[in-house]
């Protein structure tokens, strides 16, 4: 229930309204779950009726698809930046973890993380799985760079990438910006754990 600004073109307003729908839907999906959230619920959150939603989305599932598009844009954007910076593989991975934690606490991204690969329509499901595979492959590549330049220890890059994503994505389901754990400390602890593990000196 956020006001839409004035002095905008029709297309800008449209984009804003779609964004509000996605944010509200994401919040509801995270709190009550996808199937327990009706389109009427979502419509009510922005004081419109259900058929109005259909002017902005194709169907309920399309909300998940649009959240995914947004998420992929941001994650791939981060990876694009990281490939360009100079530094060894470890430094790139370090930057990725930092950036990803920042991204993964946004409602739309959280919604994507929780629902990716769970679309009912088979083609959408496959696309969603592929999207994640592509991103995982890019992180794996960073890990390989690190192994080659010696900044990351010899390990199975595939398993490492998966485990890393599991713990980072997990953050999206428990982290609350107003909760006990502060964002800075979280990032610091994650980086320390990923870097050095748990072993004492």
Partner DNA sequence: TATATATGTTACTGAATAGTAACATATTAT
Partner DNA sequence: ATAATATGTTACTATTCAGTAACATATATA
Residue 27 interacts with DNA (CB under 7 A)? no
Q: Whose CA is closest to 24, among 9, 4, 41?
A: 41
Q: Whose CA is closest to 104, among 23, 162, 34, 175?
A: 175
Residue 185 binds: one of DNA, a copy of itself, none (C-beta under 5 to 8 A by kind)? a copy of itself
Q: Whose CA is closest to 111, among 84, 142, 157, 74?
A: 74
Considering beta carbons, is residue 36 or 58 the nearer one to a copy of itself? 36
Selected from 22, 30, 93, 113, the binder of a copy of itself by CB under 8 A is 93
Q: Tell me 183's DSSP state.
A: H
Residue 54 interacts with DNA (CB under 7 A)? yes
What is the three-class DSSP state of 146?
A: helix
User: What distance in Å separates the CA atoms of residue 192 and residue 98, rounded to the nearest whole number?
Assistant: 11
Question: Is residue 201 exposed (0-12), middle (13-18) or buried (19+ Cβ within 10 Å)?
Answer: exposed
CB of 147 to a copy of itself, least distance (A): 8
- Overall residue count recorded for the chain in this entry: 201
CB of 51 to DNA, least distance (A): 4
Residue 194 interacts with a copy of itself (CB under 8 A)? yes
Selected from 73, 126, 137, 155, the binder of a copy of itself by CB under 8 A is 155
Selected from 2, 38, 130, 195, the binder of a copy of itself by CB under 8 A is 195
User: What distance in Å separates the CA atoms of residue 174 and residue 197, rounded to the nearest whole number?
Assistant: 22
Q: Where on the chain is the footprint of a copy of itself (CB under 8 A)? A: 33-36, 90, 93, 118, 120, 143, 146-147, 150-153, 155-156, 158-160, 162-167, 169-171, 174, 181, 185-186, 189-190, 192-201
């Amino acid at each position: 229930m956020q006001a839409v600004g004035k002095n905008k073109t029709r297309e800008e307003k449209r984009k804003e309204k779609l964004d509000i729908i996605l944010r509200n839907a994401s919040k509801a999906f995270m709190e009550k779950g996808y199937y327990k959230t009706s389109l009427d619920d979502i419509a009510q959150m922005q004081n419109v009726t259900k058929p109005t939603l259909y002017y902005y989305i194709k169907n309920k599932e399309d909300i998940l698809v649009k959240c995914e598009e947004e998420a992929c844009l941001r994650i791939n954007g981060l990876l694009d930046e990281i490939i360009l910076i100079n530094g060894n593989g470890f430094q790139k991975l370090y930057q990725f973890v930092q950036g990803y934690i920042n991204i993964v606490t946004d409602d739309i991204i959280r919604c994507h993380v929780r629902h990716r690969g769970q679309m009912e329509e088979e083609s959408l499901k496959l696309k969603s799985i592929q999207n994640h595979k592509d991103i995982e492959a890019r992180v794996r590549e960073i890990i390989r760079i690190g192994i080659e330049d010696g900044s990351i220890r010899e390990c199975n890059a595939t398993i490492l990438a998966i485990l890393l994503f599991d713990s980072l994505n997990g953050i999206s389901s428990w982290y609350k910006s107003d909760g006990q754990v502060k964002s800075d400390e979280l990032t610091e602890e994650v980086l320390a754990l990923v870097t050095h593990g748990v072993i004492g000196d």
